[in-house]
A and B are shown apart, each in its own frame.
Chain A
Amino acid sequence: MSRIKIRAQQADGITEVKALMRHPMETGMRKDQSGASIPAHFITEVAVFHGERTVMQGYWGAAVSANPFLGVRFKGGEAGDTVKVTWVDNQGGTGEGETTIR
């Protein structure tokens, strides 16, 4: 099951990518009902690729909201080109999703 939903739209030479990721983004500062700390669990790195080109790579802390949203724009990109978004979290989890530019 895809853990990232992505759409990419091109107009006037600019491609806009919007991605939504499935992740709890746990800060490590919260406690559960029994009072035990909920371990930190958040995406630490995220990247957006247009074909073979990296257009953005990001570093996140736990202050990015749960089920994170990311929007970026880059120059170039034609309808049908592949756009990919990947992430890595602090527990070694990874996610990846791709779409084609409309």
Chain B
Amino acid sequence: MIKKWAWLIGILAMPALSDDGIFDEYRDLMGDDNPAIFVIDEGEALWFEPQGPRSASLEGCDLGLGPGVTAGAYARFPRYFEDTDAVMDIESRLLYCMQQLQGRDRDALLAKPYSLRGDMGTELEALVTWLAAESEDAVIAPEQAHPSERAMYALGEEIFFYRAGPHDFSCATCHEQSGMRIRLQALPNLTNHDEAAEAFGSWPAYRISEGLVRTMGWRLQDCFRQQRWPGLKLGSEVSVALQTYMAVNAAGGVMTAPGLKR
């Protein structure tokens, strides 16, 4: 129970929320707890729980720092893995481990990776949340040594500025200027290091409006939906590229996840 008491202090350090003046009173009253603490515990239990046809736990899963090493691993994603010859985000790496170690079916795992409203969380969400908590206070340091990792960043940058869809939107439409809002919601400028670090480092996050922890993979899918773009596939090249772009822009920042969002 690494972060058993982190909820006591975690939200006091929520810079991502501190600049919406009119909501200060609301946030003061909300105080210093975050239901993500339950999801962290659930994710930790799932990591050690034997599952699948092979009745194996995920303890042998290599998240890039060696089999079973979880501390600090989240902060190094996305990264290249030799065994798959691909740059992976943490969600697709977990799915890979579930298939390889536990013998589970990929289609079944992908049937419902993220919760619908009213759910209490999925296995993937819980695992990602626990792993993010295992990187609390770690410096965001995505790998960029391998050519594939650098190519991913370049692709991510291209997609970030690429305008498409019925609204002729790009990611940059909402996220390349500072001090902008949508309705009353502050929008982070993801081309700016400090803002990218704050944004990237605070996901996964407990989303108050949905009563759920959401992951960065889900956040990107929802951005695509809001742009009226085609659905973004979990672990796809486009998803990993955008996460790489954000992570590299955020590099040097500190992981504060799980955050607390509207």
Contact = CB atoms under 8 A, between A and B. Distances in A.
Interface in A59-92: 65-67, 69
Main secondary structure of the interface of B (DSSP, over half): loop
B179 interface: no
A32 B38 contact: no
B33 A18 contact: yes
Interface in B26-77: 31, 33, 35, 37-38, 41-42, 45
Nearest to B210: A66
A24 interface: yes
Most chain B C-beta atoms within 10 Å of own C-beta, residue among A2, A26, A38, A67: A67
A67 B41 contact: no
Given A5-B7, A20-B7, A20-B33, A67 B118 contact: no
Interface string A1-21: 111010100000000001010
B120 interface: yes
Interface string B97-137: 00000000000000000001110100000000000000000
A66 B211 contact: yes
A2 B211 contact: no
B35 A26 contact: no
Most chain B C-beta atoms within 10 Å of own C-beta, residue among A1, A5, A30: A5
B180 interface: no
B41 A2 contact: yes
A24 B38 contact: no
A66 B206 CA distance: 12
A5 B211 contact: no
Contact of A22 (B5, B38, B118): B38
Contacts of B5: 7
Interface residues of A, number: 18
Contact of A1 (B31, B35, B42, B118): B42
B38 A38 contact: no
B7 A24 contact: no
Contacts of A5: 7, 33, 37-38
A38 B118 contact: yes
Nearest to A7: B8
A69 B33 contact: yes
A22 B33 contact: no
A21 to B, nearest CB: 9
Interface string B1-27: 000010110000000000000000000
Given A20-B7, A22-B35, 12 more contacts: A1-B41, A3-B38, A5-B7, A5-B33, A18-B33, A22-B120, A24-B120, A26-B118, A32-B116, A65-B211, A67-B38, A69-B33
15 contacts: A1-B41, A1-B45, A5-B33, A5-B37, A5-B38, A20-B7, A20-B38, A22-B35, A24-B118, A26-B118, A38-B118, A65-B211, A66-B211, A67-B38, A67-B211
3 nearest CB pairs, A to B: A66-B211, A67-B35, A22-B38
Interface of A: 1-3, 5, 7, 18, 20, 22, 24, 26, 30, 32-33, 38, 65-67, 69
